[in-house]
Structure 1
Amino acid sequence: MANELMNTQVEQAWTLHAEQPEAAAALLRPTAADLAQASAEQQQAWLRAAEHVLLGHLADAVGLAALLNAMPADQTARARAAIVLAQSPQAEPEWQDLPPAERIRAAYNAVLALSRARDFAAMSSLMDRCQAWAQSDAASARAWAATANNVAGDLRYYLAVGDVEAAVTMVDAAQRARSAWQQAGGWLEVERADWQLAMCAAAAGQGALALQAAQDCVRACLANEADDYEHCFAYEALGRAAVAAGDGALARQAHARMAERVLFLTEADRRYADSCLLALESLIARLGV
Structure 2
Amino acid sequence: MSVQIGNIDLGEFPLLLAPMEDVSDPPFRYVCKQNGADMMYTEFISSEGLIRDAAKSRKKLDIFDYERPIGIQIFGSDINSMREATEISTQAGPDLMDINYGCPVKNVACRGAGASLLQDIDKMVAMTKAVVEATHLPVTVKTRLGWDDNTKNVYEVAERLQDVGIKALTIHGRTRAQMYKGVADWSLIRDIKKNPRIKIPIFGNGDIDSPEKAANWRLEYGVDGMMIGRAAIGYPWIFREVKHFFETGTHLEGPTITERVDVCKTHLQKSVEWKGPKTGVFEMRRHYSNYFKGLENFKEFRTRLVSTENIDELFEILEQITDRYTHELA
Normalised by the size of structure 1, how large is the TM-score?
0.39
- Of structures 1 and 2, the one with the larger relative CO (CA 8 A, separation 6+) is 2
Normalised by the size of structure 2, how large is the TM-score?
0.36
Question: Structure 1 or 2: larger helix share?
Answer: 1
